[in-house]
Chains A and B, each alone.
Chain A
Amino acid sequence: MPHISLPEGLTGIRGAMAFRPETARPLNALAEVLLHAPNTLSAGERELIATYVSYLNDCYYCQTCHGYIAAALHDGDEELVRRVKADFQHADISEKLKALLVIAGKVQKGGKQVTADDVDFAHTVGATDLEIHDTVLIAAAFCMYNRYVDGLDTWQPHAEALYRERGKHVAKVGYISASNEYLPPKPAAELIVK
């Protein structure tokens, strides 16, 4: 049972976001820019970074949810997602993404763990400064999202089929649009006299 009375029937972060729509909006806006907006890293690559960090933080909801979004963005390749979590150095991904996952794994432990060597290597295999920046911020942001989801003890049903369907949907429409399905309308609309 969640630590506080979150709205029922909404899984994971969605219950917390519906509880506090004011903070939900910037949280979704950040996810939208980092994971869904156009970027030289594909949305699938960025979702793999999010999934890997959530896996390291042992957050069931986030690693499953973003894992299925990542799979949907890789033509349904769920095996790829499993490999990245288990041993990304031997997964079928680019050398650049491997170097970025190393940085993300360091950020998950602590920002200070990232070394100049990690960054040099990422540069060597083709990562741009912006890609390194976004990797650091995706990893940092998932250290927030994961703690938010688990720290409130949100409802995280173990129902893979549900996450698979949801993943396909979010992969397509993105985070702001998906959040509008369960967040109340913007304040102006709430002022309508009943």
Chain B
Amino acid sequence: MPHIALPEGLAGITAGFAFRPETAKPMRELAHILLHEANSLTPGERELIATYVSSQNDCYFCQTSHGAAAACHLGSSEIVKQVKTDFESAPVSPKLKALLAIAGKVQQSGKNVTSTDIDRARRLGATEMEIHDTVLIAAAFCMFNRYVDGLGTWQPRDETMYAQMGKHLAEEGYRKRPAEQPEPEYYRTAREAADKELAVETK
């Protein structure tokens, strides 16, 4: 059961997003730019980085939904499995392996990234922007994963649901909301109280 009264029937991060649309908006926007918008790294490669970090953080919902999105882009769920278990021997480019190594370091701590890691990525053809985006994707999933697990969200073990979600994410990206959610009662109360307080302060 979730730690707080999240809207029912919504899995993982979608429940957190529906509970607090104000924070959902920039979080969706960030994911959309990092994973879906045009980039010299393919969406499949970026989803693999997201999946790998989520798997290192042991977040079931994120590694399964982004793993499904990666599989959809790449046309193979086998590659996703191999990247999670041992990316150095997975059938991905040497450049992506070097970027996954950086992402794995960021997952532990930003300070663990060394100039040797960066030199390896550069030598294998990674650009400055690709290194930047890898660091930020890995860092962002250290947020998304903690958000999903820290609220104790509902994470059904339902492969079909994740396959559908992955297909939707691969095709549509992250910016669009699945459906408009009504503002929760507890949020409205807090917001109105805050607005009232602000009105008094402004006077």
Contact = CB atoms under 8 A, between A and B. Distances in A.
Contacts of B58: 110, 112
Nearest to A127: B4
A29 B128 contact: no
Interface string B1-39: 001110000000000100110110111011001100100
Contacts of B144: 140
Contacts of B106: 147, 151
* Chain A contact patch, size range: 35 or more
A26 B146 contact: no
A16 B132 CA distance: 8
A103 B110 CA distance: 22
Contacts of A58: 109, 111
Contact of A140 (B37, B113, B136, B143): B143
B103 to A, nearest CB: 9
B30 A26 contact: yes
A19 B132 contact: yes
A184 B181 CA distance: 34
Interface of B: 3-5, 16, 19-20, 22-23, 25-27, 29-30, 33-34, 37, 57-59, 102, 105-106, 109-111, 113, 115, 118, 128-129, 131-133, 135-136, 138-140, 142-152, 186-187, 190, 193-195, 197-198
Interface of A: 3-5, 16, 19-20, 22-23, 25-27, 29-30, 33-34, 37-40, 57-59, 103, 106-107, 110-112, 114, 116, 119, 128-130, 132-134, 136-137, 139-141, 143-153
